[in-house]
Amino acid sequence: MAQPVLRLHAAPGEIDAEAWNALLAMQAAPSPFMRHEYLDALHRSGSATPEHGWTPQFATLWRGKTLLAACPLYIKDHSYGEYVFDWAWANAYEQHGLAYYPKALVAVPFTPVPGTRLLARDADSRALLVQGLLQFCKEAELSSLHLLFGADEDIAACADHGLMLRNTVQFHWSNPPDDGTAGYADFEAFLASLSHDKRKKIRQERRKVADAGVTFRWARGSDISAADWDFFYRCYARTYREHGNAPYLSRDFFQRMADTLPKAWLLFVAERNGKPIAASLIALSVDGADSAAPVAAYGRYWGALERVDCLHFDACYYQPLAWCIEHGVRRFEGGAQGEHKMARALMPVKTTSAHWLAHPAFADAVERFLEREGEGIENYMQHLDERSPFKSQG
């Protein structure tokens, strides 16, 4: 039997889209962000390119003409757009006269969504892919390899090869909730599951938006018009610039999403006096079946041209949650960080990344740091569990 061969690709477009997506469909935790269309759009739109510090070296593992495994791999000369923060590690390297960059990264740029990162036909293929990635990093004399927001299978394969594990906390909503009860019949049933204080707060926040004369409409997929996309991008770009940053994603990226992956997007537009004033863009899991309800929704991008008290909460949480309940979506992921999401019934979930550092002394130091940090994460999770927004079951 032929030995597996690892190949590196300077752009996702060098890899057959159908073969990539077929491999993704075999995984336990696929997401729309790992589809070939999404990754290719990031590159072709100029959003994640060498000019911006994201040099693609996508990895594929072959046995003859059979694609065994694949993953998005970037060579990075900074740590922006990752959401698992290693700036302190880079600073420590610099203080000791060592170069932390370039480093290798297995991740989806600008997208802190947990899911499969190592596409593989089986566990053996996944292990061979990790082995190949480590060999590449050593031969290229890179400082480190990082796999972010991986699925359980990815993390297990990395741990088997000696990578260090690091946990962070996100906040996800589920329907039915993880308490053995049935799913919510409607948004009012969801509110009824919450404690009195949380229920009252949400109703007050939604009332403020309604009293300000704001209404919402939504559109999905091909029903999102070009004008809607243009308006959304104005809002999205303005939010970044208000914080002194250029937007990560270009308008061309979203045009490519509209053209190549339309079913994966749900847009909420807030209007007042017949004029759009804000927009919230949600991603949806897609499996190609028109009749199938998405399994998951992902809160991604938001922006507003006018300030209305509590509009962000309504556009980014309450409207999407009501839509998810109505359309049978079982999970809504709220993105990175944000304890305030618990008040909206998004509960804490641990996410995991895996890390390999070439320098033995720094690897030992980081391992000790991660042990301490891990204890802190466990304590933090226990603290959050004591603050459940749901009614007590006693």
pLDDT band at 176 (very low <50, low <70, confident <90, very high): confident
Q: How does DSSP assign 105-138, residue by residue?
A: EES-TT----B--SEESSHHHHHHHHHHHHHHHH
Higher pLDDT, 250 or 293: 250
Phi and psi angles of residue 147, each rounded to the nearest 5 degrees, phi first? -115, 120
For residue 240, give both structure tokens.
């970044």
pLDDT band at 20 (very low <50, low <70, confident <90, very high): very high
Percent of the chain with pLDDT over 90: 90
> How many whole angstroms separate alpha carbon 91 and alpha carbon 371?
20
Closest CA to 280 of 318, 242, 248: 318
> How many whole angstroms separate alpha carbon 183 and alpha carbon 322?
13
Q: What is the pLDDT of residue 276?
A: 98
pLDDT band at 291 (very low <50, low <70, confident <90, very high): very low
Residue 368 CB burial class (10 angstroms; 0-12, 13-18, ≥19): exposed
Asked if 110 and 79 count as a contact pair (C-beta separation under 8 A), the reply is: no
Closest CA to 72 of 54, 46, 51, 87: 54
Q: What is the pLDDT of residue 198?
A: 96
* pLDDT greater than 90 at residue 94: yes
What is the pLDDT averaged over residues 105-109? 98
* pLDDT greater than 60 at residue 186: yes
Q: What is the pLDDT of residues 61-80, one digit of tens each?
A: 999 999 999 999 999 999 99
Whole-angstrom CA distances from 128 to 18, 118, 124, 285 are 22, 11, 6, 28
> How many whole angstroms separate alpha carbon 336 and alpha carbon 180?
27
pLDDT band at 183 (very low <50, low <70, confident <90, very high): confident
Asked if 176 and 182 count as a contact pair (C-beta separation under 8 A), the reply is: yes
Is 0.85 surpassed by the pTM of this model? yes
For residue 387, give both structure tokens.
């603050």
Q: What is the pLDDT of residues 21-64, one digit of tens each?
A: 999 999 999 999 999 999 999 999 999 999 999 999 999 999 99
Q: What is the pLDDT of residues 361-384, one digit of tens each?
A: 999 999 999 999 999 999 999 999
